[in-house]
Structure 1
Amino acid sequence: MKMNVLTRYCRKALFVAATLAAGNFANATTVQFQTSLGDFEVILFDENTPKTVENFLQYVSDGAYTDSVIHRLAPNFVVQGGGFIFNDEAKLESIESRPAVVNEPEYSNLRGTIAMAKLGGNPDSATNQWYFNLGNNSANLDLQNGGFTVFGQVKDDGMDIVDAMADQTIFNMGGSFTTVPLVDYTSEDASNGVEVEADNFITIYAITVTDAATNTLGDLSPAKNTLITAQPTPAPSSGGGGGGSMPLAILAMLAAAGWLRRR
């Protein structure tokens, strides 16, 4: 069944009212993702990535992520959301974005972390889209495009739900949406022209604050991004006027370029 627009906006209005009643949560450290595949919590690094967390929490406070969808999946790499809502016209509708936030590449892109997507070639271009790292992506993402800002970590066994997102089948919905994970939708459905409905998407029903303590890390020991401050090793001279060979690490980063861009 398609999601009724009025129902969606009523749900968003109720969510905003509830968050306002909860008061100011500028120092919030834990949020709960309520999804169609289950709920899980994420601990935010608000003391070490303050601008990014403030930006994320503003979207949360506004209810911008209510009924948003996971619109991108790269198996063994990332699942990405925060940018779109599926509307009754069978289209992915963009969530209105706020001004971009400054890059804060303090932590490493390891499995279980959440980080901000951004535009290629612009380190300070993150707005509303985020992604979960499905594996150790530090070699690609800690240095590429100024480093991708990790601003939180999935708590306890929450990655079981994120992994369930990553287990869904990918479909090409046209345009920029070539790797959309869908639930209970098959290749046969696609071949027969069966319409994709709201229930086929992995939906983020809401993101809510569950802990407003000021100690952001607690018992966590997130890995620091050491690549962002490392100086590149000069390539050996070829003896002529040109440069040397490109290091393998740089080739790996270029191979992943373009994947974590805002759409």
Structure 2
Amino acid sequence: MTLSKHTRRACLALAALSLVAGQAWSQTTAAAPRVKFATTAGDFVVEVYPDKAPKTVENFLQYVQDKHYDGTVFHRVINNFMVQGGGYDAAFAEKKTRAPVLHEGREALAKGGDKNIVGTLAMARTSEPNSASSQFFINVKDNDFLNPTLIPPGDPVPKFEYQGRVYENTSRAQLVNAPQLFGYTVFGKVVSGMDVVNKMKAAPTGAGGPFPGDVPKTPILINSATLLK
């Protein structure tokens, strides 16, 4: 069968479009590494997003590659809230960490990243926004109060509402640096094994090690955390 010149051009254009789409798909999948957690409660897989929170993802994946998480426990488990781990071994000895990672919660949210909703992965930290190191948590409910607060444009900011209160003509620096507005950086989500996470969240808890409560009575150990791609 002989194709006309017009048809050949259309076929070439379609082929080129398919190639571009294929490259875009490849770049999308390449930008979403996955990590498998093998735990004593079962296995689950998380997907992380370097396009949304690059420094946070790099930090997390380095801990994975360093085998930091292997042998650690989920030391804080609260049903209807979250499960947290990545910092303590089975004897509740705190593991040595690298320097903290810069907080990227607002940047990730502004780029279309997830909020702290069921199944998302976020960095744990102290009251200091830039204190996150190795510990992470998985939201097991929609925790809106953990979300970063985006600051409207302007300096001063003409109008800003927070927790039912309205602020007018507020210094931008004052809002940007307010600790309560930073929230928690979401950098990934559970893509398989959420049933395992749900089993974990329902574990009976009590005191353990240095913690007065919320510690699973039967330890939930991370046997390994492995980068899949």
TM-score by length of 1: 0.59
The one of 102, 109, 112 aligned to 2:119: 112
Deviation at 1:123, TM superposition (A): 1.0
Q: 1:81 to 1:181 in 2, by over 3 A?
A: same
* Cα contact 1:72–1:177 (8 A) shared by 2: no
**Is the Cα contact below 8 Å between 2:32 and 2:49 reproduced in 1?**
no
Residue 160 of structure 1 is matched in structure 2 by 195
Which ranges of structure 1 fall in alignment gaps of 5 or more residues?
1-25, 184-200, 212-263
Task: Note if 1:77 corresponds to 2:112.
Answer: no
- The CA distance in 2 between the partners of 1:174 and 1:208, in whole Å, is 27
Aligned residue identity for 1:45: Y
Contact conserved, 1:43 with 1:155, CA < 8 A, in 2? yes
Q: Which residue of 2 aligns with 1:34?
A: 38
Q: Deviations over 1:130-167 (max 9, x none)?
A: 000000002344344512001101004x2100011011
* Residue 254 (structure 1) aligns with: none
Partner of 1:94: 94
1:203 aligns with 2:221: yes
Paired AA for residue 41 in structure 2: L
Paired residue secondary structure (2:213): coil
Q: Using the TM superposition, give the Cα deviation of residue 177 of structure 1 relative to its aligned residue in structure 2, in angstroms.
A: 4.7
Asked if 2 retains the 8 angstrom alpha-carbon contact of 1:118 and 1:127, the reply is yes
Distance 1:150 1:140, change over 3 A: closer
Where does 1:1-263 land on structure 2 (aligned, <5 Å)?
Answer: 29-86=33-90, 91-105=91-105, 106=108, 107-120=114-127, 122-143=128-149, 144=180, 146-156=182-192, 158-173=193-208, 175-183=210-218, 201-211=219-229
2:158 is matched with: none
Moved over 6 A (4+): none
Deviation at 1:27, TM superposition (A): 5.7
Distance 1:97 1:30, change over 3 A: same
Across the aligned residues of Structure 1 and Structure 2, the Cα RMSD in angstroms comes to 1.7
Q: Max radius of gyration: which structure?
A: 2
Shift of 1:82: 0.3
- Residues 31 and 209 in structure 1, CA contact (< 8 A), matched pair in contact too: yes
Provide the rounded CA distance (Å) in 2 between the counterparts of 1:175 and 1:40.
27
| 1:176, distance to aligned residue in structure 2 (A) | 3.0
Alignment-mate amino acid for residue 104 of structure 1: E
Give the conservation status (yes or no) of the 8 Å contact 1:28–1:209.
no
2:18 paired residue number: none
Between Structure 1 and Structure 2, which shows a larger proportion of helix residues? Answer: 2
- Rounded to whole Å, the distance in 1 between the matches of 2:181 and 2:225 is 28
